[in-house]
Chains A and B, each alone.
Chain A
Amino acid sequence: MKKLIYHIALFVCILLTGACNKEFDDYPEPAETLAGNIKDANSKNNLQSEAGDRGMRLVLEELSWSATPTPYYFFAMQDGSFRNTKIFKGKYRISVEGPFVPLLQYDGSGAITVDNRKTMDVAGNTNVDFEVEPFLNVEWIGEPVYNSTDQTVSVQVRFTRGTANTAFHANVTDVFLFVSPNTYVGNNNYDNKYSVQVNYGGTSGNDQLGQTVTLTTKDKLPASRKFFLRVGARIDYGLKYYNYTTVKTIDIP
């Protein structure tokens, strides 16, 4: 009973205080589309990444209102493409972040030395591609091989520097074969039981650059199933995100 009285009182209060706001938000909802790809500047192929917040993301700064706006972020898909259909019309400075040479670089004093961000109007369907230099290129060599003796899968990969800029030639820290039962495979989504990580100390990882690296899954993979494989490698720079190969599937007989 008491509770009811309080509720009624609260309701009356809300009515009394809230009844004098006649303005409402009459802006049109955001409807412009921004789409495109993040590509490797050398191979012109899409750069592989992982889904989610340790992958690649777009940074949008809307300059129509302020010179120093709070950035708006959205993530690219794991195949390096991006598409957002709910962007407000306006003038934007657009950048991408991820495991590649940053588009915006500073010297030690904070002065901007490199600025490859793009400023453009977003209206209707706006397409924009970014060409970036990944820290590492990670490529498959051949196809994954199923070892029926111990029910594992072996893969061969090669990683090489993706940029000639020696400022981004930090040590290679590890290479990781990610195994997952679904296509979203990467550092964000893998099965510990089968995935295998090889860590390199000091500069020993750099000796593997350009070499064929063979990785074999741990434990026995269950039969009659499909698994998704991907190899990532990274260098000791910044937030240490992985560069990836494409996703390959293997049917375990």
Chain B
Amino acid sequence: MKLKIFLLSIILITSHAACTDLDIPPMNVIQDKDVFNTEGGVRIYMARCYSELAMEDFRYSPTRGTNHFWIINPQPANTGEALSRDLNGATAEQFNFWERAYPLIREANYFLQTMPAYAKNFPEADVNHWLGEAHFIRAFTYMALVKRYGGVPIVKEVLNYPEESIDELKVPRSSEQAVYDFIAEDLDFAYSNMKESSERGRANKYTAAAFKSRAMLYAGSIAKYNQIQLFDGSQNRLCGIPVAKANEYFKAAYDAAGLLDGKYSLYKKTWAAGDKQAQMDNYINLFFDESSPENILVKDYKYPETVHGYDAYNVPRQLMGGNGYSAEVNPTLNFVELFDGIPKNADGTIKTLDDAGKYILYTNTLDLFADAEPRLRATVIVPGDIFKNESIEIYRGIYTGPVTGGISRLLPEGSTAPYPAANIVSSPNAQQTPYTLPDNTKKNPAGRSGVFTADGTCAVSGFSVRKYLDPERPTAEVLENRSDQTWIEMRYAEVMLNRAEAAYELYAAGQAGNYLQDAFTLINQVRERAGANLLASAAALNNINIVRNERRKELAFENKVWWDLKRWRILDREQNGTVYRTLMPFFAANANKYFFDARPDERNSRYTFDNRWYYQEIPGSEISKSQNLIQNPGY
């Protein structure tokens, strides 16, 4: 012991004195020439950039950020798409995205600055493609910044200290408009310099155009709907875009989306007209088929190097894997009611009562969804649906009361009270005590996937998510950091919906052009593939909500909806003390049949969006570092 301390002191003392200058490049640090002289080096540089891209993918949650393995606070539970036991109210993002974005911007800038010096080693087309790629990466990152914070500092070149003074490094925020224009400029450069196709997982010129359609649509919506103003002292509008610019941006989104015409198409490999099963299977496969013509930019995962835990966190309870997670994303009834093919009341809510006000009885829980839109069934596991060759059992309890003359509502319409204990047998958790039915057979009080009264690892809303869940993965492999399905960051359906929305906005603003007809055609193409009811005519497309709801259905559970609800500036109205609705199936013991009760979330999770969150708080640590940054309003 004493000897060790003595040795340590010797080392410490000697090491403090060892400071001779050796003016040679360090041999263990990779130099520019090692990277930029070969195609392999460039590929490695790019691989890192792509892996750092701020995608809200399988490794994203609003509480922990991007590229995090633990995603038990799923984004869909923040938008009204779903309920989750681990995210029970509206939240802003709770991580410092700012400090993750600028290092990547620096890497893109470094590439743009260094590559030209080595260009002579490569064919010109390759160099241009790579430069375009760096512009794309930079634009992608600025997009991730501007949608969170509004106007941010635009850094176009590599900044160095001490060559630049501290004051020069404190770059102030640009206007929100300037950032969107900068993104457009970068993506235009990428479009005109990149090749038509690229390696899987990397951008090409059409990827740039697709992202431009997304960015410009966001900018147009902000210009049109945002009401928050923030100016700096030099008349730069850090939050908000002048309303007069809206049509210009919508037009840019519309035009950019048009560039992809004929280059990509909706995935319809196993689609068949009039065949709901085929349409459902087709829609499920769209997320797994590597050769899908719909994929524009994907992020591949591969076990064991790059992995995520989407299956482990989200499988229905009865298929739970070894880590003990399941059912984090449970679609709300509000979301399910957006779809076609389910019985509905005049106000669009699901019909569970007959004309006499008694519950409608069903032999199987799946019967209610017999005619449901295939896209719904491919997106959501409804009670009794088949997944991994198992019937997913979801019901809330057994109703033991009398059934002659029909069963009346268990609770008044809209009541948030818990279910009465009388006449209802339920189960607190998955360790169930079977209940003896009148015919002496036994039945569990709740389905194997829920709903349990005291254990949230179940279908708390009466539904479980299906989109992106790997139907082939054996339960033994349903583990954290074991899944490796591909994330599709941009697919052609989104480009079509971008274009349709921009077109409808232009039409609504009275712009001359064939916009309404165009939006109508696009919406119907998306609907046809989904197996949804088609719009009868262009005149039937008479409300922006038709376009928006199509987007909410098509892109659900892809972590896009929160940003959409924010840019439409409607989230504060949607989440205003809101309790989302759930659908609770019950088994009526004396009728040997099921009925459904639509009710507000029994857990009473209440969602209120804070208007300040339209522009997120700039992390205080960033303002401490750069005092020129002006905080967003209200923080």
Contact = CB atoms under 8 A, between A and B. Distances in A.
Interface of A: 1, 5, 8-9, 12-13, 16, 53-54, 68-71, 97, 106, 108-111, 173-174, 192, 197, 199, 236-240
A70 B627 contact: yes
A12 to B, nearest CB: 6
Contacts of A12: 8-9, 12
B623 A199 contact: no
A174 B8 contact: no
A20 to B, nearest CB: 12
A173 B611 CA distance: 13
A111 to B, nearest CB: 6
Contacts of B306: none
Contact of A5 (B5, B232, B233): B5
State the majority secondary structure of interface residues on A: loop
Given A110-B231, A240-B611, 18 more contacts: A1-B1, A5-B4, A5-B8, A54-B610, A54-B634, A69-B627, A97-B634, A106-B231, A110-B235, A110-B237, A174-B576, A199-B576, A238-B227, A238-B229, A238-B633, A239-B612, A239-B634, A240-B572
Contacts of A237: 227
9 contacts: A8-B5, A12-B9, A12-B12, A16-B12, A16-B16, A106-B229, A106-B231, A173-B573, A239-B611
B115 interface: no
Contacts, number: 59
Contacts of A9: 8, 12
B8 A108 contact: no
B8 A192 contact: no
A171 to B, nearest CB: 11
A13 B623 contact: no
Nearest to B629: A70
Interface string B5-24: 10011001000100000000
Contact of A109 (B9, B235, B623): B235
B577 A197 contact: yes
Q: Which of A9, A70, A97, A174 has the most CB of B within 10 A?
A: A70
B236 interface: yes
Interface of B: 1, 4-5, 8-9, 12, 16, 227-229, 231-237, 242, 572-573, 576-577, 604, 606, 610-612, 623, 627-628, 631, 633-635
Nearest to B579: A192
Given A70-B627, A110-B237, A238 B576 contact: no
A4 to B, nearest CB: 9
Contacts of B1: 1, 5
B418 to A, nearest CB: 12
Contact of B623 (A70, A97, A108, A192): A70
Contacts of B9: 12
Contact of A239 (B237, B631, B633): B633
A23 to B, nearest CB: 19
Contacts of B577: 192, 197
Contacts of A238: 227-229, 611, 633
A68 to B, nearest CB: 6
Contacts of A109: 235
B629 to A, nearest CB: 8
A111 B611 contact: no
A53 B235 contact: no
Contact of B228 (A70, A110, A239): A239
Nearest to B13: A16
A186 B232 CA distance: 32
Contacts of B227: 236-238
A141 to B, nearest CB: 24
Contact of A197 (B16, B576, B623, B627): B576
Leading 9 A-B pairs by shortest Cβ distance: A110-B235, A110-B231, A239-B611, A240-B611, A239-B634, A106-B231, A70-B627, A9-B8, A239-B612
Contacts of A68: 233, 628
Nearest to B231: A110
B558 to A, nearest CB: 29
Contacts of B612: 239
A68 B572 CA distance: 32
A111 B627 contact: no
Nearest to A17: B16
B601 to A, nearest CB: 12
Contacts of A13: 12
Nearest to B626: A70
Contacts of B233: 68
Contacts of B235: 109-111
A16 B573 CA distance: 59
Nearest to A240: B611
A199 B608 CA distance: 14
A240 to B, nearest CB: 5
A8 B7 CA distance: 13
Nearest to A193: B416
A199 B8 CA distance: 71
A68 B628 CA distance: 8
Contacts of B236: 110
Nearest to B234: A110
Contacts of A53: 634-635
A108 B242 contact: yes
A170 to B, nearest CB: 8
A70 B624 CA distance: 9
Contacts of A97: 634
A189 to B, nearest CB: 13
B552 to A, nearest CB: 20
A174 B606 CA distance: 17
Contacts of B604: 192
Nearest to B12: A12
B30 to A, nearest CB: 29
Contacts of A108: 242
Nearest to A201: B573
A69 B631 CA distance: 12
A53 B634 CA distance: 8
Nearest to A170: B227
A224 B228 CA distance: 45
A93 B227 CA distance: 26
Q: Which of B1, B4, B628 has the most CB of A within 10 A?
A: B4
Given A12-B9, A110-B237, A192 B606 contact: yes
Contacts of B4: 5
A218 to B, nearest CB: 9
Nearest to A187: B608
A205 to B, nearest CB: 12
A174 B578 CA distance: 14
Q: Which of B9, B236, B572, B577 has the most CB of A within 10 A?
A: B577
